[in-house]
């Protein structure tokens, strides 16, 4: 599991403390998909950074049972490496002896990721949607028990975004990771998540936790909007 208990985090800006997270508690079980939705600057990405181990909480507890793989907002593909070389980078960094087997595995997954025939292509030869799929393939190859997805489709046009949301739903059904998805998109959260945490403005607090009801999308969209508009 991923467990956050009463987590607090501050940063300093011009020597002044800025409280980003305040008493945040949440959890993600193995195989479960959870969305974190809230206004810009409320600490959603900071929370992913704490879970990934980039920095430490100032208070509370962050506990991760298993490995995590992080996909950031930008695809972060290295321009001088092919799709396959980018996808296998986590394996190459950890254990070069496994690289031939990893390349063969990644090549076998290219059709599933809509990249058949593009294994030797470079990032500047790909569309935005293809670059995001390549970045997710790299996340899969990292082998984490949990995927931390930081607005993976936030930079894409609406049509491409909707197509990739449905595609990702199928991908996670295939690999069955635990997922913690940061998003501003209410519909994306309802499509991809089993549960949704709604956060307040900074300092980020958990306002509500909702179970996703597949047959009640419109009602739940309205409820989440109401929660986001409501004060702290």
If one compares 66 and 171, the residue with the highest pLDDT of the two is 66
When the pLDDT of each residue in the chain is averaged and rounded to a whole number, the result is 89
Determine the Cα–Cα distance for residues 217 and 185; give it in Å rounded to an integer. 13
Domain boundaries, the chain: 1-67+149-232, 69-143
pLDDT for the residue numbered 228: 87
The residue written with tokens 């996909």 in the block is 71
Which DSSP helix (H) or strand (E) runs through 192? helix 186-192
> Regarding predicted confidence, which is higher, 50 or 230?
50
CATH number of the domain at 1-67+149-232, out of 3.40.50.300, 3.40.190.10, 3.55.40.20, 3.10.20.600? 3.40.50.300
What is the arithmetic mean of pLDDT over 118-132?
92
Q: What are phi and psi of 25, to 5 degrees?
A: -125, 130
Cα 15 → chain centroid: 31
Query: Given this model, what pLDDT does residue 155 score?
Result: 64
Tell me the percentage of the chain whose pLDDT exceeds 90. 59
178: which strand partners?
Answer: 146
pLDDT tens, 84-107? 999 999 999 988 888 999 999 999
Per-residue pLDDT reduced to its tens digit, 76-89: 999 999 999 999 99
Lowest mean pLDDT among 113-122, 148-157, 214-223: 148-157
Over the stretch 142-174, which tens digit does the pLDDT of each residue have? 888 999 999 877 666 666 777 777 888 888 888
Give the global pTM: 0.87
Query: Per-residue pLDDT averaged across 21-27, rounded?
Result: 95
Strand blocks (E) in 93-187:
146-150, 178-183
Q: In which band, very low, low, confident or very high, does the pLDDT at 123 lie, cut at 50, 70 and 90?
A: very high
Distances in Å between the Cα of 70 and the Cα atoms of 1, 28, 95, 127, 205 are: 16, 15, 19, 21, 22
């Amino acid at each position: 599991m991923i467990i956050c208990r009463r987590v607090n985090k501050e940063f300093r800006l011009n020597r002044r403390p800025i409280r980003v997270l305040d008493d945040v508690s949440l959890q993600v079980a193995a195989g479960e998909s959870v969305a974190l939705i809230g206004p810009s600057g409320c600490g959603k990405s900071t929370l992913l950074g704490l879970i990934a181990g980039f920095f430490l909480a100032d208070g509370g507890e962050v506990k991760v049972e298993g490995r995590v793989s992080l996909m950031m907002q930008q695809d972060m593909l290295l321009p001088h490496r092919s799709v396959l070389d980018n996808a296998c980078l986590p394996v190459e960094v950890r254990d070069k002896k496994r690289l031939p087997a990893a390349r063969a595995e990644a090549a076998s997954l290219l059709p599933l990721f809509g990249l058949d025939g593009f294994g030797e292509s470079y990032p500047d030869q790909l569309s935005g949607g293809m670059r995001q799929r390549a970045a997710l393939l790299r996340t899969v190859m990292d082998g984490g028990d949990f995927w931390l997805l930081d607005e993976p489709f936030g930079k894409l046009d609406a049509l491409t975004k909707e197509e990739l949301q449905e595609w990702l739903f199928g991908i996670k059904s295939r690999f069955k990771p635990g997922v913690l998805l940061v998003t501003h998109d209410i519909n994306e959260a309802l499509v991809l998540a089993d549960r949704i945490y709604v956060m307040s403005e900074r300092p980020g607090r958990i306002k509500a936790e909702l179970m996703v009801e597949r047959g009640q999308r419109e009602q739940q969209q309205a409820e989440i909007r109401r929660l986001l508009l409501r004060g702290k």
